[in-house]
Amino acid sequence: MSNVDATVEVAHDEQQKGNEGNSEILQLVSFRIGNEEFGVDILSVREINRMSEITQVPNSPEFIDGVINLRGKVIPVLDLRTKLDMERIDYSKDTRIIVVELQGRTVGFVVDAVSEVLRIPSNITEPPPPMVAGIDAEYITAVAKLEDRLLILLDLEKTLSLQEKESLEEL
């Protein structure tokens, strides 16, 4: 490698380090559905609960598992697997309900397992590839490139269509 190439490489490394210093830090709750790892903004998460008994609601849409009583408040619980067009599975000891606030309404999302809370620089994320960012995937906001894995960042607000949000209002 020539001295010029080495200098450019060092400059790129320093620029990258500088960018990381100036980069916004994203705080995320990461969770698993199947073999995929997802993340959502920690500010949208109110709490994470172990699976509790879900009361089914007759004639509710397929993506709604039912409702739970959360400290005296009845909240709808959605199966995120169904919303992501993945096959349903039986709940396990690791299954969790991520409780979020969507447009002033408390909603629970069932996930296979919650992994961890992450703090990552925003500059390690990039928009999803065009083939992934189809009509059904507008709720994928970015893909984060971690050292040993990719993390798909979701906007849970966008996982529901206007019609589906109206269905939640009727519960």
Which of the pair, 96 or 138, is modelled with greater confidence? Answer: 96
**Residues 52-61 pLDDT 10s:** 999 998 988 8
Q: What's the token pair of residue 23?
A: 């980069």
Which of the pair, 12 or 48, is modelled with greater confidence? Answer: 48
pLDDT at 171: 63
**CA gyration radius for the chain?**
19
pLDDT at 36 over 60: yes
What topology does CATH give the domain 25-170? Answer: OB fold (Dihydrolipoamide Acetyltransferase, E2P) (2.40.50)
pTM: 0.78
Q: What would the mean pLDDT of 119-145 be, rounded to a whole number?
A: 79
pLDDT at 161 over 70: no
d(C-alpha 156, C-alpha 138), whole Å: 10
For residue 137, what pLDDT band results from cuts at 50, 70 and 90?
low
Are 97 and 46 in contact, with CB atoms under 8 Å apart? Answer: no
Q: Where are the beta strands (DSSP E) in the chain?
A: 25-33, 36-41, 45-50, 64-70, 73-79, 96-102, 105-111, 113-121, 125-126, 140-145, 150-154
Which residues, listed in sequence order, are joined to residue 32 by a DSSP beta bridge? 37, 113
User: How many CB atoms are located within 10 Å of the residue 39 CB?
Assistant: 26
**Residues 108-129 pLDDT 10s:** 999 999 999 999 999 999 988 7
Provide, for the chain, the percentages of residues in helix, strand and coil under a 3-state DSSP scheme, each rounded to the nearest 5. Answer: 25, 40, 30
Q: What would the mean pLDDT of 83-101 be, rounded to a whole number?
A: 90
